[in-house]
Amino acid sequence: MTLTDLLPATDVTACCEPLTRESISAENAGALASTLKALADPTRLRLLSMVAAHVDGEACVCDLTEPVGLSQPTVSHHLKILVEAGFLTRSKRGLWAYYRLVPGALDSVSRLLVTI
């Protein structure tokens, strides 16, 4: 009689243990991953921070291009990604395009993260 025969229960549960709750669905994981992907870039995090730090919580592309140290098309590209992900709004006034944080957007991602 081997040790395995003596301890069948513990051996069975040594791998493939049951769940204590439901884990995140594949669809929700995909959606959250897309949202996080928009944030997972140093330039985009800086852009978000710079927009938030501006007076009136608003900034145009010309405010951001120089401090971020990248070309204007690249900055516009990143801003577009942030708008599409729901973190920024864009409103054009005259020649300028003003970007503004979407209130609560970062908070809701933040809250989602801890429920994983």
Kindly identify the residues of this chain, within the stretch 38-57, that bind its own copies according to CB under 8 A: 39-46, 48-50, 52-56
Minimum distance from CB of 73 to its own copies (Å)? 18
The one-letter amino acid code at 3 reads: L
Closest by CA position to 45, among listed 69, 70, 78, 67: 78
Binding its own copies by CB under 8 A: which of 10, 29, 72, 91?
Answer: 29
Q: How far is CA 64 from CA 9, 24, 84, 105, in A?
A: 62, 37, 18, 21
Q: What residue 70 binds from DNA, its own copies, none (CB within 5 to 8 A, per partner kind)?
A: DNA
Instruction: For residue 20, give both structure tokens.
Output: 């204590």
What sign results for the dihedral spanned by CA atoms 110, 113, 76, 102? negative
Q: Is the Cβ–Cβ distance between 51 and 99 less than 8 Å? A: yes
Instruction: For residue 5, give both structure tokens.
Output: 């025969």
Mask 71-100, x = binds its own copies (CB under 8 A)?
-----------------------x-x----
Q: Can you give the binding site for DNA, defined by CB under 7 A?
A: 2-4, 15, 37, 40-41, 43, 60-62, 65, 70-74, 76-81, 90, 92, 94-97
Which chain residues interact with its own copies by CB under 8 A?
A: 14-24, 26, 29-30, 32-33, 36-37, 39-46, 48-50, 52-56, 58-60, 62-63, 94, 96, 106-107, 109-111, 113-114, 116
